[in-house]
Amino acid sequence: MTARILVVDDIPANVKLLEARLLAEYFDVLTAANGYDALAICERTQVDLILLDVMMPGIDGFEVCERLKDNPRTAHIPVVMVTALDQPSDRVRGLKAGADDFLTKPVNDLQLMSRVKSLVRLKTLTDELRGRAAAAHAIGVEAGLVAALGDEPGSVLLVDGRGSSQERIVRALRPIADVTCMSDPQAALFEAAENPFELVIVNANFTEYDPLRLCSQLRSLERTRYLPILLISEQDNDDMVVRALDLGVTDYLMRPIEPNELLARSLTQIRRKRYNDRLRSSVTQSIELAVIDGLTGLHNRRYLDSHLKLLVDRSMARGREMSICITDIDRFKLINDTYGHDVGDAVLREFANRLRTAVRGADLACRYGGEEFVLVMPDTSAETATAVAERLRMTIEQEPFSVPGVAAALQVTASLGIASLLSDSDGPDGLMKRADKALYEAKRSGRNRVVAAAA
């Protein structure tokens, strides 16, 4: 694993020490002697992680962290504060400023490297999602972590073997989250897989159960793979923390639990979960927009072009019949010219709705362009396809279209052309050409009719 890490400290010896440790792990290291230089570096170059001292001249680490998190271009960069301050209030202040962790000098090498690698993995995932969302131009990811939080309470699953500690944790998180408590780790695994939790807190206080097994299982299940996990461990149990971070645990906390630190760490994880969920949703919506016609909600020509060959090849390989129908709204230009494009769009939407009701579940309905629609019917003979098309034609003709803004319902009809696979030498282009020719014949011979291509 490689990444670019920025070390920020006004004491050269501290910088050299951290730089040597990171270079030994093959990280790319940048350095800054003060907060202003650190902010400038982050503005002009890509940084994957920041190790930030707190006590510095000019602006301290807390202010640097706040500025980074307020800047849309740098809000997603993980920040680890490395300092001699060791009071709980200092840790909480750092976490509230947006830091992902707060390590006290002298830093344990093993714990530092495990934390760095864990946060770099998280940054890589977030960068991938941000890149996909930005490439699709679906949302403005510049809103950052805070804007993605929302006002509603988080949904947290607490897995804790002791009722007394459950009560304390629930009380601490009450301002920000609704907490579901469970004492059975295996039951908790199923609960996490079946419900939309935003954070799982695993308290390592079980007498006859290894809590890391639950963490590993949560990471192995597809439905919980990206669910943040906060581990609560005994003080100085570095081995468990290092193993937990290697397994993919997102954050950790040592007992005795400081309520404000628990609240701050949980809030950070919930925010990050919502931010990444928002990015994933953006990518999914972008993919859908690429293959869905925005006006009618049917699949578009791009989707048809990419899937028709697949469906034809599948039918050929299985020796099954397949038919397509191209339908065109009769005299649609007259509707647009008479009533305007808004009415024309309303007619297209209603036509698409009737197309949906007329087709079967296995059929593929697409808007081909303008007022033309294509219906792909796998496992369908020419005779059956003609019957389906006739039913659709009657559905269009027999009930006039009620359109907002037009006093009287509009009488709409459609012409339809049918074609079926002929032989192993047939393909999507030939199929479409024959269906289009049949459609032309339907229009030439009077419209409002179904014509099947000759076998």
Quick: pLDDT tens for 333-384. 999 999 999 999 999 999 999 998 888 778 899 999 999 999 999 999 999 9
pLDDT tops 80 at residue 179: yes
Confidence of residue 108 (pLDDT cuts 50, 70, 90): confident
The mean pLDDT of 93-100, rounded to a whole number, is 86
Region of poorest pLDDT, from 201-210, 274-283, 367-376, 404-413: 274-283
- What pLDDT is stored for residue 276 in this prediction? 81
- Is 151 or 378 the better-scoring residue by pLDDT? 378
The model carries a pTM of 0.59
Quick: pLDDT tens for 14-38. 999 999 999 988 899 999 999 999 9
- What pLDDT is stored for residue 333 in this prediction? 93
Quick: pLDDT tens for 254-278. 888 989 889 888 988 898 888 888 7
Quick: pLDDT tens for 65-86. 999 999 988 988 999 998 887 7
Confidence of residue 413 (pLDDT cuts 50, 70, 90): very high
Cα–Cα distances (Å) from 301 to 180, 293, 364, 375, in that order, read 47, 8, 12, 12
The tokens describing 334, both together, are 């007259």
Confidence of residue 282 (pLDDT cuts 50, 70, 90): low
- What pLDDT is stored for residue 51 in this prediction? 95
Confidence of residue 425 (pLDDT cuts 50, 70, 90): low
What residues form DSSP beta bridges with 419?
324
- Is 367 or 106 the better-scoring residue by pLDDT? 367
pLDDT tops 80 at residue 43: yes
Distance CA 236, CA 102 (A): 15
- Is 291 or 449 the better-scoring residue by pLDDT? 449
Quick: pLDDT tens for 213-257. 999 999 999 899 889 999 999 887 888 988 998 888 988 888 889
What residues form DSSP beta bridges with 400?
none
- What pLDDT is stored for residue 20 in this prediction? 92
Mean pLDDT in the chain?
87
Distance CA 158, CA 331 (A): 64
- What pLDDT is stored for residue 87 in this prediction? 77
Confidence of residue 314 (pLDDT cuts 50, 70, 90): confident
CB 170 within 8 A of CB 181: yes
- What pLDDT is stored for residue 82 in this prediction? 86
Given 371, 390, 397, 399, the catalytic residue: 371
Three-class DSSP labels, 198-267: CEEEEECCCCCCCHHHHHHHHHHCHHHCCCCEEEEECCCCHHHHHHHHHHCCCEEEECCCCHHHHHHHHH
- What pLDDT is stored for residue 138 in this prediction? 43
- What pLDDT is stored for residue 286 in this prediction? 63
Portion of the chain with pLDDT greater than 90, in percent: 55
Q: Mark whether 371 is an active-site residue.
A: yes
pLDDT tops 80 at residue 53: yes
